[in-house]
Amino acid sequence: MLYEKDNKLWYEFDNNRVCIEAWGPNALRVRATSNASFTGENWSLMEGKPAKARITISKAERKNSAGGMMGFADLSTAEFVNGKIKAFLTGTGVITFSNGKGETLLKENWRRHEDQPSMSLKINGREFRPLEGDSYRLAVRFLANDDEKIFGMGQYQQKIMNMKGCSLELAHRNSQASVPFYVSSLGYGFFWNNPAVGRATFGNNGYEWVAESTKQMDYWIVAGDTPDEIECAYMDVVGRAPMMPDYAMGFWQCKLRYCSQEELLTVARKHKQLGLPMDVIVADFFHWTQQGEYKFDPKFWPDVEGMCKELKSLGIELMVSIWPTVDYRSENFKEMMEKGYLVRTERGVRVTMQAFGQEVFMDPTNPGTREFVWSKAKQNYWDKGVRIFWLDEAEPEYSAYDYDHYRYYLGTDLQVGNLYPLYYAKAFFDGMQKAGMANPLNLLRCAWAGSAKYGALVWSGDIGSTFECFHRQLRAGLSMAMAGIPWWTTDIGGFFGARTDDPDFHELLLRWFAWGCFCPVFRLHGVREPQHGFDGDFISGIGSFGSGADNEVWSYGEDCFQVMKKYLFLRERLKPYISAQMKLTADKGTPIMRPVFYDFSTDKETWNIDDQYMFGPDILVAPVIEKGALKRNVYLPSGAKWTNAWTGEEHQGGQAITVDAPIDIIPLFLKNGARLPIKE
């Protein structure tokens, strides 16, 4: 039965319920369930702006199908039109989406006789398989379009940016962030508004979304004429990033690990003595007395307040690492356990991670947990001058990714697990705002849809120091931008496996450093070899172990230093341009780092480009990501004139060219005579 109620289009048959409603201009929210009613959860969807929609229902007699055999074919139809998008719903429950031109954008894939007379497979486009209680394993299927390209979906460690043909786990891991929104080359965006663990498959023979345990289907779809229109509509309903703070737009210095206050201050002082820019420096993990105590070990960090004051006098902010792990030996463990602030396990011993002890992750889906953890961080960090936090282990990084084993305040890990980084970010964002900060920013290793509105700057996780890994990060960053996470960065040079004295690594580091200059955040990090000082008692002493090899810009010899110094000052000169783009991100939702097709969608070739990108509207960036390369091919989009930022040579768009790329040069092109201070 099709009917209209409360300005929504409803379909009901047996135990199947579907609701379609306008959710912002040119957008629809679609829910379905086999339960008696919907849950009422909006998850990451905020209320959409009011939209004028039109619902039309055409009734027709229901007839027996297959010559009077069991089954029904309802010939009624309904249309739901909201601006540029239209949903067409049949009396048998099949949904088709089209744009204002009548072109099909997306259609459910029902392979049964009443919908496709040549199909007797009895495969439904929406399938609820019952589990215990009122939960189901959900599968939602759509027809594939041979000409479609799909971009977004978050961060996956693969050398592929077009997700067409990919199967993606809808779950978080170290270096993997599932953010289930994509922009289609057909002119629509699709958001799977379900935090359940599952899988998305964009096969050539059909698309399928699976939630392993859920109570309802919930997705949002929008039509638009340009990728920017689609992206910004999505950001309107999940939340835009605040304005990026000024300090975040410069250079961030980081390594594994500064093991004492004096070591960290020595590096900061030297940067300034050399006249080098630095805006943020990081006190990384195990500076604390114990996991879950959220405070500096006074043996190695005796005057945190004085340290912060000195750094601020140098124009540097201190970022401090937070882990969500709580050790059984922590002074807070007993209270957090009693109050239900820790992740539960369904069986066996209550241990969720082993990192130099037996730990249980805190549960940020519980509002009490968020308030408790922030209160400790405020007392021991914020009140002493710390203004940025590194919210590490944000997936969280379980010792075993057995998603059926863990349970949160809001439900099982299978049902709501992808919300963990969202609420982790929210805990600190809310606390920092309450403490008086207008636009908090914190670094996390993971995100879900809507994380941007909580000031989440995501980095790509613990990755290797190889050119092959470098390839993957470029695609990951562009995919995160399209998925609605505009603040993104990497460990420049990679995290694992590099020696400070290795010439091959020097090449990789310089190529990565130049690319980092044109990322939303410019941050050097990594555990370099050979490490030293790891002779303390790590188990009981916590902070008494040593540091990785040096990882400062002067640590790799004079030749490397001069190249990195060049890009340090280039980033400084670009700050006004970056600030203007970050304001656009905050006001509208446009990411500063985006694929070339984002700005040139009418040039079909740009939809095939995945190794260069736009950094704001005026800079085309073509990183050198091949070992040993001293030249590279660059495609210049049609519809603009392009100037080589280093040589001044001009080129017409709509062509591929080959440019020189010596070790100190990242190919850059300026659009239509844009005047930016690339060269000093």
Q: Which residues are catalytic?
A: 392, 395, 462
| Cα 678 to Cα 680: distance, rounded to the nearest angstrom | 6
Q: Which of 265, 238, 271, 222 lies closest to 589, judged by CA?
A: 238
- What are the structure tokens assigned to 476, written together? 């990951």
Q: H/E element holding 512?
A: helix 503-516
DSSP category for residue 538: H
| Cα 617 to Cα 674: distance, rounded to the nearest angstrom | 10
For 678, what's the count of Cα atoms within 13 Å in the CB-facing half-sphere? 23
| Cα 453 to Cα 586: distance, rounded to the nearest angstrom | 9
Contacts 24+ apart (CB under 8 A), 531-534: 533/259
Residue 27, phi-psi category: left (phi > 0), alpha (psi -120 to 50), beta (remainder): beta
| Cα 316 to Cα 309: distance, rounded to the nearest angstrom | 9
| Cα 447 to Cα 459: distance, rounded to the nearest angstrom | 10
| Cα 498 to Cα 527: distance, rounded to the nearest angstrom | 8
Please say whether the beta carbons of 83 and 26 come within 8 A.
yes
CB-based contacts of 251, cutoff 8 Å, min separation 6: 277, 278, 279, 280, 522, 523, 524, 568, 571
Residue with tokens 């959220």: 294
- Strands 668-671 and 641-644 come out as antiparallel
Please say whether the beta carbons of 96 and 36 come within 8 A.
no
Q: Which of 246, 175, 266 lies closest to 491, judged by CA?
A: 175
| Cα 532 to Cα 554: distance, rounded to the nearest angstrom | 18
- What are the structure tokens assigned to 427, written together? 């805990």
* Helices vs strands, H then E, count in the chain: 11, 43
Q: Which of 80, 82, 62, 61 lies closest to 72, judged by CA?
A: 62
Residue with tokens 């919210």: 391
The 3-class secondary structure across 173-206, one letter per residue, is ECCEEEEEEEEECCCEEEEECCCCCEEEEEECCE
| Cα 286 to Cα 83: distance, rounded to the nearest angstrom | 54
Sign (positive or negative) of CA dihedral 108, 109, 110, 116: positive
